[in-house]
């Protein structure tokens, strides 16, 4: 559990972690070298790879290409079992605990086991909580689950805590890829206050101010994807 231990160690040292999310479905393979160069000179500590709808094999090809240009840990953030590849370093083994679809609570996980057997992927059990933004997200559509309301903060807290009590090692609070507005500091802080496991926050974060706001509220790992797809200029502001 090297990657997870390093996350815990960094948090204990008061460091904040930053993950760039690359969606194989949207990313142009030919752009890998220049994009990863920008990641390497930024504050990024992790590269997450995954998406809601990804062609078979494209994750594996992309991860192999990314590996050529960086030593940062590559963590799979899969929308589906087909995205699991041994070429990455770790896998967020996601349970969509904001929803009640058994396929995403235990079904897909069973299907994943035969792919995981014999790999050296570090598997990190992760609770995944989708919280509503104004638009219906790909996660909602693909999983057939509804997002949790932003207004019911107690229910979000209790859901996250239940995930921790079930043994999950990370908790991911998600506003949805490309969300119009990131999660509020109030939601992040309220959940963080009750959790003893690292907190990941992502969805709709587009600026350095929004990244800092998430950290101030208690996020341990901030994830940004869409903002880099829209404008790689953001890397300039995020230099080490
Ligand atoms: C999506 O939380 C991630 O699953 C990142 O969201 O693409 O909006 O940055 P964005």
pLDDT in tens, 42-99: 999 999 999 987 788 899 999 999 999 999 999 999 999 999 999 999 999 999 999 9
CB 79 within 8 A of CB 52: yes
Question: Which ligand 1 atom sits closest to the C-alpha of 202?
Answer: 2
Query: Encoding tokens for residue 180?
Result: 């119009």
CB of 178 shorter than 6 A to ligand 1 = yes
What is the reported pLDDT for 1?
81
* 173 annotated to a ligand binding site: yes
**From CA 191, how far away is CA 141, in angstroms rounded?**
25
Best residue among 23, 78, 224, 231 to mutate for probing ligand 1's pocket (most ligand atoms within 8 Å of CB) is: 224
CATH architecture assignment, domain 2-234: Alpha-Beta Barrel (3.20)
Best residue among 204, 221, 231 to mutate for probing ligand 1's pocket (most ligand atoms within 8 Å of CB) is: 204
Ligand 1 centre to CA of 118 (Å) is 30
What is the reported pLDDT for 181?
94
Ligand 1 centre to CA of 178 (Å) is 6
Question: Which ligand 1 atom sits closest to the C-alpha of 224?
Answer: 9
**From CA 150, how far away is CA 98, in angstroms rounded?**
12
What is the reported pLDDT for 138?
86
H helix intervals, the chain? 2-12, 32-40, 58-67, 107-116, 138-143, 153-165, 185-194, 208-217, 226-230, 234-237
Give mean pLDDT, residues 210-217: 98
Q: Which band of pLDDT confidence, cut at 50, 70 and 90, is reported for residue 101?
A: very high
The CA radius of gyration of the chain, in Å to the nearest whole number, is 16
For residue 135, is pLDDT > 90?
Answer: no
């Amino acid at each position: 559990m090297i990657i997870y231990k390093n996350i815990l160690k960094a948090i204990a040292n008061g460091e904040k972690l930053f993950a760039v999310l690359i969606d194989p479905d949207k990313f142009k393979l030919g752009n890998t070298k220049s994009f990863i160069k920008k990641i390497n000179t930024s504050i990024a500590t992790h590269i997450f790879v995954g998406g809601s709808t990804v062609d078979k094999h494209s994750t594996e090809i992309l991860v192999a290409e990314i590996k050529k240009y960086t030593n940062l840990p590559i963590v799979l953030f899969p929308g589906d079992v087909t995205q699991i590849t041994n070429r990455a370093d770790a896998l967020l083994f996601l349970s969509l605990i904001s929803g009640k679809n058994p396929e995403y609570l235990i079904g897909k996980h069973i299907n994943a086991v035969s792919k995981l057997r014999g790999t050296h992927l570090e598997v990190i059990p992760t609770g995944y909580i989708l919280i509503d933004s104004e638009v219906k997200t790909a996660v909602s559509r693909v999983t057939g689950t509804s997002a949790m309301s932003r207004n019911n903060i107690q229910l979000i807290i209790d859901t996250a805590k239940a995930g921790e009590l079930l043994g999950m090692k990370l908790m991911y609070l998600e506003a949805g890829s490309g969300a119009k507005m990131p999660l509020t500091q109030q939601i992040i802080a309220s959940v963080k206050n009750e959790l003893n496991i690292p907190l990941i926050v992502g969805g709709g974060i587009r600026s350095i101010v929004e990244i800092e706001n998430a950290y101030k509220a208690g996020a341990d790992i901030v994830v940004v994807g869409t903002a880099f797809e829209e404008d790689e200029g953001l890397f300039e502001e995020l230099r080490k």
